[in-house]
Amino acid sequence: MASHPLLSAISEFSASRNAMYGKDMLLTWEKSDDELRAILAAAALLREMYAQNISTRVFDSGLAVSNFRDNSTRTRFSFASATNLLGLTVQDLDEGKSQIAHGETVRETAIMMSFLTQVIGIRDDIYLGAGNAYMRQVAAAVDEGFREGTLMQRPTIVNLQCDIDHPTQTMADLAYLKQYFGGLDQLKGKKIAMTWAYSPSYGKPLSVPQGVIGLMTRFGMNVALAYPEGYNLIPETLDIARQNATRSGGSFEIANSMEAAFADADIVYPKSWAPYSVMEERTQLLSAKDYDSLKALEQRCLQNNAKFTNWECTEALMSRTKGGNALYMHCLPADITDVSCKQGEVSKSVFEKARIDTYKEASWKPFVIAAMIFLSKFEQPGSVLEELVKRSPKRVL
């Protein structure tokens, strides 16, 4: 058999040490540019091997624990798909309702569900200050378990959305940008508008806008963030965006309006999120189990949202973007005016034009998650992929 065309694409993995081996995926800004590039490259390779009917089942058995402390349909399917693609079986940890976790229980439960577990995917995005911290508690527990010989392998923790970041979403977004514009280097100098948008819903996490500004500033893009007064993000994430922009030769600015942010943008990402102060108050009220005040808070928040119904991604706004033709992105589901609600984040016609694009954006998520797991589990990922391509076991007979 002649050399398989995929082998040269794989060669980049073989060159250097895999710094992600044995590491968790908790925040994109804890990863080097090279590591992020490796995730994108691995995701693209796994996808291409899928397309060529080459099985990437690197595990003959093993569990992938999912722990959704907030509702999820889509990420649940992405995680199930990704782990299945690698040969793992999902076992869901059903804790009942989300609650701020206590140290002892977290430590013990983490061990009890990990004896034959390769990866733990966690969504915990409700409590500001608690979600990412919980993931680190789990990580510390399995660290101890592996060190003390309780666990025969250390499961990788993958952040499936927390209070701070949503790395599987933003890396899927970046993978699509790379595909759409024809390479990561093509993103240099492109303008992306990450803006708030009105939605009749309440309490959406800050993790997507924070994750987007923290990641998209890494590759030389000009990132414009815009939101109404009171809808600011966790201050540290702004600092990270600023530092990244400086380092990458891009820029980061906070605009006052959608109009300003959209001006000449190559990419727009209009999306609702909750006011920062509401998220803080909500965390306190949830901890105190003060459900009456929570209901009152929700009412107040929805009324406040309603002042900004004009933050909608319309045709008029889109016409202000580069060539009137910016790429519209969304993590989905979007609140679409006259479709999923009376008044929402995006007009029906704008969304309909962008719909297939948003689906393609989403299609990267299983492969990005699979890549993150794959790179954390194999010290020599290039050799493993090479072996698979050479053998080319069939995914479907």
Q: Which is nearer to a second copy, 2 or 51 (CB)?
A: 51
CA dist., res. 353 & res. 339, Å (int):
14
380 touches a second copy (CB under 8 A): no
Question: From the list 4, 12, 14, 59, which residue makes contact with a second copy (rule: CB under 8 A)?
Answer: 59
316 touches a second copy (CB under 8 A): no
Site for a second copy in 202-261 (CB under 8 A): none
The token pair that represents 347 in the structure block: 């007009």
Task: Find the part of the chain contacting a second copy (CB under 8 A) among 6-14, 24-32, 35-43, 353-361.
Answer: 353-361
Minimum Å gap between C-beta 104 and a second copy is 5
Question: From the list 50, 146, 181, 276, which residue makes contact with a second copy (rule: CB under 8 A)?
Answer: 50
Q: Which is nearer to a second copy, 108 or 315 (CB)?
A: 108
Task: Find the part of the chain contacting a second copy (CB under 8 A) among 101-109, 179-187, 234-242, 277-285.
Answer: 101-109
Closest listed residue to residue 372, CA positions, set 8, 27, 93, 9: 27
Q: Which is nearer to a second copy, 22 or 87 (CB)?
A: 87
Q: By the 8 A CB rule, do 160 and 151 touch?
A: no
Q: Which is nearer to a second copy, 109 or 243 (CB)?
A: 109
363 touches a second copy (CB under 8 A): yes
Question: What is the full DSSP assignment across 153-164?
Answer: S-PEEEEEEESS
Q: By the 8 A CB rule, do 220 and 189 touch?
A: yes
Q: By the 8 A CB rule, do 153 and 61 touch?
A: no
The token pair that represents 197 in the structure block: 């948008």
CA dist., res. 68 & res. 75, Å (int):
9
Q: How many CB atoms sit inside 10 A of residue 61's CB?
A: 9
Binding-site size, a second copy (CB under 8 A):
67
Minimum Å gap between C-beta 278 and a second copy is 26
**Whole-number CA gyration radius for the chain:** 21
Question: From the list 13, 62, 196, 214, which residue makes contact with a second copy (rule: CB under 8 A)?
Answer: 62
CA dist., res. 153 & res. 166, Å (int):
26
Which DSSP state fits 197? -
145 touches a second copy (CB under 8 A): yes
Question: From the list 362, 368, 373, 389, which residue makes contact with a second copy (rule: CB under 8 A)?
Answer: 362
CA dist., res. 103 & res. 380, Å (int):
35
Minimum Å gap between C-beta 310 and a second copy is 23
Which amino acid, 161?
Q
Question: From the list 105, 256, 277, 319, which residue makes contact with a second copy (rule: CB under 8 A)?
Answer: 105
Q: Which is nearer to a second copy, 114 or 244 (CB)?
A: 114
User: Quick check: helix, strand or coil at residue 121?
Assistant: strand
The token pair that represents 310 in the structure block: 């004009």
CA dist., res. 220 & res. 248, Å (int):
5
Question: From the list 148, 289, 323, 324, which residue makes contact with a second copy (rule: CB under 8 A)?
Answer: 148
The token pair that represents 247 in the structure block: 């380092």
Which amino acid, 184?
L
Q: How far is CA 14 from CA 44, 45, 115, 184, in A?
A: 16, 14, 31, 20
Minimum Å gap between C-beta 59 and a second copy is 6
Minimum Å gap between C-beta 61 and a second copy is 5
Question: From the list 19, 152, 296, 306, which residue makes contact with a second copy (rule: CB under 8 A)?
Answer: 152
Give the alpha-carbon dihedral of 330, 211, 364, 358, to 10 degrees: 10
Question: From the list 99, 109, 232, 251, which residue makes contact with a second copy (rule: CB under 8 A)?
Answer: 109
Which amino acid, 143?
D
CA dist., res. 60 & res. 369, Å (int):
19
Task: Find the part of the chain contacting a second copy (CB under 8 A) among 8-16, 199-207, 269-277, 387-395.
Answer: 387-395
Task: Find the part of the chain contacting a second copy (CB under 8 A) among 93-101, 160-168, 183-191, 217-225.
Answer: 93-101
**Footprint of a second copy (CB under 8 A):** 50-51, 55-63, 65, 73-74, 76-78, 80-81, 84-85, 87, 89-91, 93-95, 104-105, 108-109, 111-113, 115-118, 145, 148-152, 332-333, 336, 339-340, 356, 359-360, 362-363, 365-366, 377-378, 384, 387-388, 393-397
